[in-house]
Amino acid sequence: MNLRPLADKVIVASSNKEEMTASGLVLPDTASKERPEQGTVVAVGPGRFDEDGEKRVPMSVKVGDVVIFKKYSPDEVKVDGKEYLVLSESDLIAVLEK
């Protein structure tokens, strides 16, 4: 099953990272209830309509971009056993470029 976002929505696969304390203990991602703030875009909607409702405003991200987003803005969705985050383009803060 595929997710096809609508309007200015973006589907992101979160980047779960384990953290290590100064003493060398590894904290799994489940130790913190905070959502990751970084992920990879896996699907992008067609864009929202402009104020007149006549033209679509193109999206500024594309599939494969690594993005930084607001911590509490995503909605979580589980499809085929995988968890994804759904965000509005306005909730994205930046694209990480190499």
Count Cα neighbours of 80 within 13 Å in the Cβ-side half-sphere: 3
Do 46 and 25 contact (CB within 8 A), yes or no?
no
Domain-wise residue ranges, the chain: 9-96
Phi-psi region of 46 (alpha: psi -120 to 50; beta: other; left: phi over 0): alpha
Predicted pLDDT at 44: 97
Predicted pLDDT at 90: 93
Q: Which residues of 58-77 are buried (b: 16+ CB within 10 A; e: fewer)?
A: ebebeeebbbebeeebbeee
Of the candidates 51, 82, 69, the one whose C-alpha atom is nearest the C-alpha of residue 10 is 69
Structure tokens at 78: 């589980």
The CATH architecture of the domain made up of 9-96 is: Roll (2.30)
Q: How confident is the model at residue 2 (pLDDT cuts 50, 70, 90)?
A: confident
- pLDDT tens digits along 23-71: 666 666 555 556 568 999 999 999 999 999 899 999 999 999 999 998 8
| Prediction pTM value | 0.77
